[in-house]
Amino acid sequence: MNNKKVLIIDDDAGFLYLASLLFKKAGATVFTARDGLEGISKLFTHQPDLTILDVTMPGLNGFEVCQRIRQISDTPIIMLTALNDEQDMLRGLKAGADDFLSKPFNPEILLARARTVLRRTEHLQSQTDSFNYDDGHLSIDMERRHVLLNDKRIKLTPTEFRLLTYLVRNPGKVLTFEQILANVWGNEYRGNLDYVHVYISHLRNKVEEYPKQPRYILTVHGIGYIFER
């Protein structure tokens, strides 16, 4: 976490203090905010490498803050909730979060997840190969990280871009849910298949003309997905 900037947005002063100590001890520079609007302001000012975002806050809740952040930034986001609710997790992922943890949790788990999310982001940023895909309808430029649909650029989050390029690099091959999870999120996420389903749905809404009748990302029921050129 050395030289990384971490923004923590939570209305719980005690948690802010403890989480700040955790990340500072790991070598990060930490900024904190007690509500969503302050958090968005500090995101603009400090451009953090990672944002830790609580769901339950006064004013804007965490889901609304996450959606606003995603309109302006690709910073990785880990959402926190006091409720171990699957629907909350799905809502968080749909809002654009990269990961989701339920309180209470072992602080070392948060730190490990933070390192994993940052490592994935750094890996994507370090990829400079000249891989391209263009079928006249969908175009992907890996080096510039541009995705065009009918010559109009579409905005993908880092996770969506990673998922799309993994699928496109394996055309015509059935990729199991676990294969996708391991290659896009990492082995630490084994068994968390909701990540795959939610993000496939996101991708279809962005790259498919008719998301409910996809031409590119096809479902192999009970097994996984396949990308058809």
Q: What is the mean pLDDT of the chain?
A: 89
pLDDT value of residue 129: 58
The CATH classification of domain 132-227, taken from the options 1.10.10.10, 1.10.3720.10, 2.40.37.20, 3.40.50.300: 1.10.10.10
Token pair listed for 134: 């263009």
Per-residue pLDDT tens over the stretch 26-78: 999 999 999 999 999 999 999 999 999 999 898 899 999 999 998 888 899 99
Ordered by start, the domain boundaries in the chain are: 5-126, 132-227
Centroid of chain to Cα 200: 12
* CATH topology agreement for domains 5-126 and 132-227: no
pLDDT band at 226 (very low <50, low <70, confident <90, very high): very high
- pLDDT exceeds cutoff 90 at 177: yes
- SS3 for 35-58 is CHHHHHHHHHHHCCCEEEEECCCC
- The answer to whether the beta carbons of residues 202 and 217 sit under 8 Å apart is no
pLDDT value of residue 83: 66
Q: Helix 62-72 to helix 36-46 angle, to the nearest 10 degrees? A: 30
C-alpha span between 152 and 205 (Å, rounded): 15
**Three-class DSSP category at 224:** strand
- Other Cβ atoms within 10 Å of 113 Cβ, number: 21
* pLDDT over 90, % of the chain: 52
pLDDT value of residue 68: 93
Per-residue pLDDT tens over the stretch 123-157: 665 555 567 889 989 998 887 778 998 889 988 88
pLDDT band at 175 (very low <50, low <70, confident <90, very high): very high
Per-residue pLDDT tens over the stretch 80-103: 987 666 777 778 878 888 888 888
Question: CATH number of the domain at 5-126, please?
Answer: 3.40.50.2300
Of 192 and 45, which is predicted with more confidence?
45
